[in-house]
Amino acid sequence: MNFLRLKLIFFISLTLIIGACTKVQEVENNSLKPIVLNNLADSRDKVLKSLKYKEYDYKNECEIRTEEKTRYCVNIDNVTVSLENGLNYIYAVETGSELNESNEKMTSHVNLGSLKFFKFEVLSEDELKLVSESDLLSCGPFGSTCSAVTYKYGNGPELGWLVTTGDMHQGNAGSFLMAFTAFDKKISQYLNIQTSFSNEGAAGDDESEVTIKDISTKITTVPSTSAKYFDLKINISGKEIKKKKSTPVEFSTVIKFDSKTNSYPTDAVDKFY
C-alpha cells in the first residue's frame, strides 16, 4: 500500500514537472514568434522614424541628407520585410538626387543620383535596430538614381539587392548589373558585371575602320551545395564586326563566389567588353 502510494505520488510529481517544463517551453517559443507588421507602408514609416532625418523639403517632397556639404533630396522607395531565423528584418533602399544652391534637383547628363541601403532588425512594434548600412553611392544618369530590388542571393534566408544601370553616350550604349548585401555591419558590393554593349550607333559611315560590337550577357542563378552564395551561370551572345565581316560571339561559363574577396570574379566576362 505504501509502495503504491509512493508510486502514485512520484507519478503525479513527474506529471507536474513535465507540465511545468512544457509551459515554460511554450512561453519561450512565444517570445520567439516574429512580429507581424501591418503592411509595407507601416514598415516604411518605421524606417523613416528610425533614420531620424533632420530636415524635410516640402517643395520637393523629400527628406534631406547632407554628405560632405552636398545636399540630397532622398526618399525611402523600397522596403522589404524578411523573416530570418525567427526574427524579422527590414531591408530598405534610400534613393535621391543632388540639389543645387537654389534647392533644385540637378538633372544634367553629368549628374548622378544617390543610393543607400539599410538593414534593420525589428525589436518591437515601435523600435528598429540598424544592423548594417552602405556608404552613400552615386548611380544613375541625368541626376536620377538606379533601379534597386531585393534579391535572395543564396541558400540562407538573407536578402541583398540587385541594381541595374546603363548609359548611352555618342552612340555607345551599355548596361551593368551590380549586387549588394550585408557583410557584418557594412553593406557592400559583391558583384559588378556588364550585361550589354553596342557601339553600332557610333560606327558612322565608314564601318570598315571600326570594330562594331553588339553583345549581351544573360545571368542565371544555380544553387550551390558547398557555398552560401548561388553560383552564376553566364551566357554571352552577340556579334562582332571587323571590316564588315560579322563573327558570332558565343560563350558560357559558371562563376563562383570567392569568400576571400567577398565577390564574384568577372574576368571571364570582362574580356568580351
- How many CB atoms lie under 10 A from the CB of residue 53? 15
Spatial distance between the Cα atoms of 21 and 1, rounded to a whole number of angstroms: 30
pTM as predicted = 0.80
% of the chain beyond a pLDDT of 70: 83
In a domain, 14, yes or no: no
Max CA separation in the chain (angstroms): 112
Average pLDDT per run of 10 along the chain, which is 273 residues long? 35 30 28 45 90 96 94 94 93 96 89 95 93 95 87 92 89 94 95 96 70 95 87 96 92 96 96 94
Quote the domain boundaries for residue 223.
199-259
Spatial distance between the Cα atoms of 78 and 216, rounded to a whole number of angstroms: 28
Decide: 200 and 188 in contact? Cβ < 8 Å. Answer: no
Give the cell for residue 42: 507601416
Quote the number of domains for the chain.
2
Q: Are residues 54 and 147 in the same domain?
A: yes
Last residue of a domain, one of 124, 151, 178: 151
In a domain, 156, yes or no: no
34: left (phi over 0), alpha (psi -120 to 50) or beta: beta
In a domain, 45, yes or no: yes
